[in-house]
Structure 1
C-alpha cells in the first residue's frame, strides 16, 4: 500500500494549498469549519449504516471536526441521496449503495435527483458479490443440479428481494435471461423477511449479501449455490462463481460509496477522497469492513465515476428489456 502514499501526500498538500482560496471566498476559513454530516438512506444496523459509523471516528480525527451519521431511511436510500444532492453547505456527504448512484432515474423518472448530474463521486469504498441461495427443500447439491431443477420448475418457483428495482431484483432478472430459468418475483421490505420466507418454503431462491447468506448456510437453514462475481470471491472462497457453474459471462456486485453534492468545490472532494481511501485501506479498517462483508476498494473519484457509468449501462439494459419500474 505504501506506493499510494506519495501521490496522496502530494494530493493532500496540493488540496491544502487550494483550500484557503475557496474558504476565503466563502468567508469561512479552512474547511471544514463545522461538523461534517454523513447522510445514510437506511436504518441503524443496516450495512450502509455500519460502514458509515466505522468511518466516522477516523474521518473526524483526520478533519479535526465531529463527523455525524444522520439516518434518513426510505425509498431505497433515495431520500437521503436527494438531500445530499440539494445540500449547499459543503459539509454534507452521503454513504450510498449502487442504486442511488446509477439507476435511480431509470427506475423512476420522478426521482427528484439525477445521479450523474447532481452528485459528485468521492470514493468507491467496498464491493461484494451476491450469493445465490436456495431454500432448504430445493435440489442444490451442485449448481448444475440447482439450475436443472429451476429450469424444470419454470414459473412455479418464486424468488424474493428487498424490493422492486433493487440490485437483487435486477440481478435475478439478468440471471433469468442468461440461464433460462423463470422464477416469479416476490418483493419484501428487507432481506430478513426474504430469509424467513425462504426458510418457511414460500420462496425457492434469492440473491443475498454474502455475510447474511453464509450465516444462514452455516446454520443449516439455507443452501448456497454460487456467487455472482466472475471468479471466486475472498469473502466466500468455498463457493463457485455462477460463471464457473455454467452461466456464461454472469457478473454482478453490490457496492457502497461516498458521494457529495455536485456543488461541492473540487478541492474538497479531492481531499475527502484521499482521506477516505487511506482510511479504508488501513489494515484494521480493511479487516473490519471485510467482516461486514466488503472487499475494500478505496478509489479516487474517477474510479467511482467509471463504476457508476458501467453499472448504469449493465443494470439499465435489464431495466429497459424487462420493463422494470419502481413502485
Structure 2
C-alpha cells in the first residue's frame, strides 16, 4: 500500500469513527423501550435481545424489551407509532409488518412508522421431507402432475411464507394448496410426518433439520445461487422474479425529527459492523446475503415489496 493511499485510508477510518461517536452523542435517550412485534424465542426476538446489550453499551442507558406478538405484531406497530417522537421508543419488526399491511390486517403503514435501518435479509427456502421429494425437480413434477393436491404449510394467512407460496403458484403456474398453522413448530411437525408436501422457511430457522437430514431446502428465493448453498437452485434461474425474504429491522414513530432518526441509524450501523454482531450473524446463518440498508434505502425496499404483496393478494 503506498503512503498516499494509506494516509487516506487512515483518515477515512478516523472520520467514520468520529461520525459514529458524534451520532451517539447526538442521540442520548435517558431510557429506551424496544417493542418487539413477535413472541419470545423467535428470530425477531433473538435479534432484539442480541442487539440490546450492544445498544445499552453505546448509549449508556437501559433498553427494556416488550414483546407484543398479538395481531401479527399490529399492537407493537401501534404502540410505536403513537409513542412520543423522542427516540425513546423503537420497534424491532420483520417483513410481517408489510405482509399484514398488504392483507388488510395491520392499520399502521409507513406514513406512521419510519424505518430506521434493516439489519437482516433472511433467505426464504422451499423445504421438503427428503423421504417424499429428493429435489425440486421431483417436487415440481409431482405438482404439475397432480394439480390442487400438493400442500404447502405456513404460519398464518398474512405471513411472508404465504406470500412465497402465492408467488410461486403464480410465477410457475402451479396449483398448490396452503394450510396456515398457529406456529412454525406445527408446520414443521406436519412436514416431518408427511401430512404436507413442503413449507417455506428461513435458512436461519432450519439448520438443525438440515444437519439431521430430516428436511432439505430445494429452492431458494434468490437472484443467484448462494455461495454457502451452491447446489440449491433459485427462483430467478427458473425465470421467476421472486427474491424477497424475511427482513428484520428497526422502526420508529414517523414524527421523530430527521436528525434523531439519522443519529439512531448511525448507532445501529455501528452495531451492525461490529465483530460481536457479525459473529452472531454468521453463527445464525444471517450473513448469507447482505443485510444492511439505511433508512431511505430500507423504505424504498419496503414500499416495493408492499406493492408486490398487494398485487399478489389482489390476484388471489
The TM-score, its normalising length taken from structure 1, stands at 0.86
Pick the aligned partner of 1:40 from 22, 36, 42.
36
* CA displacement 1:146-174 (0-9 Å, x = unmatched): 21111112111111001001110011111
- Residue 3 of structure 2 aligns with which residue? none
Matches for 1:202-221 after TM superposition, within 5 Å: 202-221=195-214
Q: 1:60 to 1:237 in 2, by over 3 A?
A: farther
Q: 1:4 to 1:71 in 2, by over 3 A?
A: farther
* CA displacement 1:178-213 (0-9 Å, x = unmatched): 112212110001111111001111100111111222
- Residue 299 of structure 1 aligns with which residue? 293
In 2, Cα distance between equivalents of 1:230 and 1:269: 31
In 2, Cα distance between equivalents of 1:58 and 1:166: 29
Q: 1:70 to 1:242 in 2, by over 3 A?
A: same
Report the RMSD for the aligned CA atoms in angstroms. 2.3
Which aligned runs of 4 or more in structure 1 are off by greater than 4 angstroms?
1-5
- Residue 106 of structure 2 aligns with which residue? 111
In 1, Cα distance between equivalents of 2:35 and 2:19: 29
Counterpart contact for 2:85–2:254, Cα < 8 Å: no
* CA displacement 1:232-256 (0-9 Å, x = unmatched): 2345444232333x24333221110
- Residue 308 of structure 2 aligns with which residue? 314
1:7 is displaced (CA, Å) by 5.0
Pick the aligned partner of 2:266 from 265, 268, 274.
274
In 2, Cα distance between equivalents of 1:286 and 1:14: 21
Q: Does 1:65 align with 2:71?
A: no
Counterpart contact for 1:235–1:290, Cα < 8 Å: no
Q: Does 1:75 align with 2:71?
A: yes
Q: 1:260 to 1:202 in 2, by over 3 A?
A: same
Q: 1:248 to 1:66 in 2, by over 3 A?
A: same
Counterpart contact for 1:281–1:298, Cα < 8 Å: no
* CA displacement 1:105-148 (0-9 Å, x = unmatched): 3311x63322x1001110011102111111344233x3222211
- Residue 138 of structure 1 aligns with which residue? 132
Matches for 1:108-187 after TM superposition, within 5 Å: 108=104, 111-114=106-109, 116-140=110-134, 142-187=135-180
Q: 1:14 to 1:196 in 2, by over 3 A?
A: closer
3-state SS, counterpart of residue 107 of structure 2: coil
In 2, Cα distance between equivalents of 1:14 and 1:283: 20
Pick the aligned partner of 2:90 from 89, 93, 115.
93
1:64 is displaced (CA, Å) by 1.1
Q: Does 1:6 align with 2:1?
A: no
Structure 1 unaligned residues grouped into runs of 5+: 20-29, 323-327
Aligned residues: 304
Deviating more after overlay: 142-151 vs 187-196: 142-151
Counterpart contact for 2:153–2:178, Cα < 8 Å: yes
Deviating more after overlay: 179-188 vs 217-226: 217-226
The TM-score, its normalising length taken from structure 2, stands at 0.88
Counterpart contact for 2:37–2:94, Cα < 8 Å: no
